[in-house]
Structure 1
């Protein structure tokens, strides 16, 4: 292991040579990851569709399928960083389709997420801090239900589709039409899927998208709340973000997003290199925690401390 720079300059911890090595993007690894994710989705979704009534098999399949749909958000995240694939065009296309599956619009999210990285944990600037940050058990359960996400997506897509960008400083005026057209197309696909369900008088849209995504969202919320909640405010990337050590299936479906402190320190490092980056960087981080259950327990424990 090479000598580290002083943590007073966090983004110089890795040498230029180390960062160049870790920054290597790969279409092959991107496609392998995507095919693996889609295969899990296809198998679990197929079981959910064909094993109706055989609940010991159908219900676990629904949970896996729902989470594989919801965790397509991780693919959106990697693609808006343009790091999932070496090809710019592939990142844009896969990111948009992954957003369609998971309920996000990648054209909008790229601008939103850029500000989150620029102003991480800075109140009044980080757009993620506009979401409900639980301070009570009731807040926590509400967030975990996924309902705030659904409400936010309905409201957000309506704002984007109707060109209401006034409260979105992270979307530059030059991008308004691009974001709006992208949202129209996404809503059009959803509308077409609903129309097919109605024409054939089958609950396809509800059974194979809405219901599974509703099942998967609480699992995704349980994971995403660990990224920054309870970490220090301010712009120090060594303290404002948490890495959560977890099992391989979650790392697979989340595209290595659990290595979140590493990602925030060096956003240019692609998902498949984050485990290697973790070996180099973990000693420098304040928040490296073994498991999402432990993180969520610590978040809930703080509610009682705040009340006492």
Structure 2
């Protein structure tokens, strides 16, 4: 069955309707979660377990700003392109992604999903052993990779990056410098005031929340087919409403890859039609990770794929 046959044209047209309300509500509530968690974490006189819960919520909220960035990068969250781009940049700032570069990177990922040598996501090492798996979940690979990525965006040679062309490279570099400038300003204010805001209320929470995001994202394509078949190279994971909320419905990942023009709020309805046709449809992230752990060497890229 072809991808186009999974959803009838009339139904697809109805699901493709962009609306501002769902994204505005999701964005506002996401920012409120971060703020509320940060306020609880800041209460020095409150019981430590309660403060740590606030730290965790703040961190999970910051890390999963990536999900909103992802949706806005598709320009499907809001009706306005400018509003999508502005929201994406803000959410990227909070989650340590550069939205301008990520949008081009992600377009390439959709074009060549899980195809070795073509999909830029596969340039990152695959966790084919237990130590590598634990290192991936810790967020270490992500942090170290981000530092290298920003160094490249700021000073490196971008001419060989396949998803960046000569016209967009100056725009991407300006965006990266502006973002790093905001971080440096926050660092300076934190040092002058002596409040350590950047460390205690952004870096530390993001460090705490990043393993949750890694746990979710590792399930999206790991263990799936290294092919161009959208029903086989991506996994949909059925999970709790809270995880779907934090991730802007990204657990319906195969549906998203098959129909990337669908806004996040339409993915549950699309799943009702697409779900029966998916090769990888799993009940919960714990089950997915048990399957991955049972055969980590299978996550290795095919021999001779030419991928990094």
User: Shorter chain as normaliser: what TM range?
Assistant: over 0.9
- Is structure 2 residue 228 aligned with structure 1 residue 241? no
In the alignment, the residues of structure 1 paired with residue 183 and residue 19 of structure 2 have an alpha-carbon distance, to the nearest angstrom, of 31
Matches of 2:184 and 2:79 in 1, distance apart?
Answer: 32
Long gaps (5+) in structure 1: 1-6
Q: Name the counterpart of 2:89.
A: 96
- Map of 1:3 onto structure 2: none
Q: Give yes or no for the alignment of 1:132 onto 2:125.
A: yes
2:25 pairs, out of 16, 28, 32, with 32
Does 1:23 pair with 2:51? no
In the other structure, the counterpart of 2:150 is 157
**Shift of residue 51, structure 1, vs aligned partner:** 4.5
State which drifts further: 48-57 or 246-255.
Answer: 48-57
1:47 pairs with one of 37, 40, 45: 40
Q: CA RMSD in A?
A: 1.5
Shift in Å, 1:146: 0.2
Q: Which runs of 5+ in 2 are unaligned?
A: 300-308
1:303 positional shift: 2.8
Q: CA deviation at 1:305?
A: 7.9
1:39-83: CA deviation from partner (whole Å, max 9, x where unpaired): 111111111112466211011111111010000000110011000
- For residue 111 of structure 1, what is the aligned residue in structure 2? 104
Q: Distance in 1 between matches of 2:84 and 2:298?
A: 44
- Decide whether the 8 Å contact of 1:25 with 1:85 is kept in 2: yes
TM-score (norm 2): 0.95
Question: 1:201 Cα deviation (Å)?
Answer: 1.6
Q: Does residue 76 of the first structure (1) align with residue 69 of the second (2)?
A: yes
**2:167 matches 1:192:** no
Q: Which position in structure 2 is the counterpart of 1:180?
A: 173
C-alpha distance in 2 between matches for 1:163 and 1:175: 15
Residues 67 and 217, structure 1, Cα contact 8 Å, conserved in 2: yes
Contact persistence 2:159–2:166 (CA under 8 A): no
CA contact (8 A) 1:70 1:216 kept: yes
- Distance (whole Å) between structure 2 residues aligned to residue 102 and residue 293 of structure 1: 24
Q: Residues 132 and 143 of structure 1 are in contact (CA less than 8 Å); yes or no, is this contact kept in structure 2?
A: no
**Distance of 1:264 and 1:233 partners within structure 2:** 14
Say if 2:115 is the partner of 1:122: yes
CA apart distance, 1:232:
0.8
Q: How far apart are the structure 2 equivalents of 1:161 and 1:208?
A: 25
Q: Within 1, Cα distance between the matches of 2:49 and 2:139?
A: 25
Q: Check 1:239–1:183 CA distance in 2 against 1; reply closer, same or farther (3 A cut).
A: same
Structure 1 contact 10–237 (Cα < 8 Å) conserved = yes
Query: Following the alignment from structure 1 to structure 2, what is the Cα–Cα distance between the partners of residues 88 and 163?
Result: 29
| Cα shift readout 1:128-184 (whole Å, capped 9, x = no counterpart) | 000121110011011011011011111101111114214411111110000000000
Q: For 1:151 and 1:305, how far apart are their aligned partners in 2?
A: 25
In the alignment, is the contact (CA less than 8 A) between 1:51 and 1:57 conserved in 2? no
Separation in 2, partners of 1:304, 1:267: 30
Deviation above 3 Å: which 4+ runs of structure 1? Answer: none
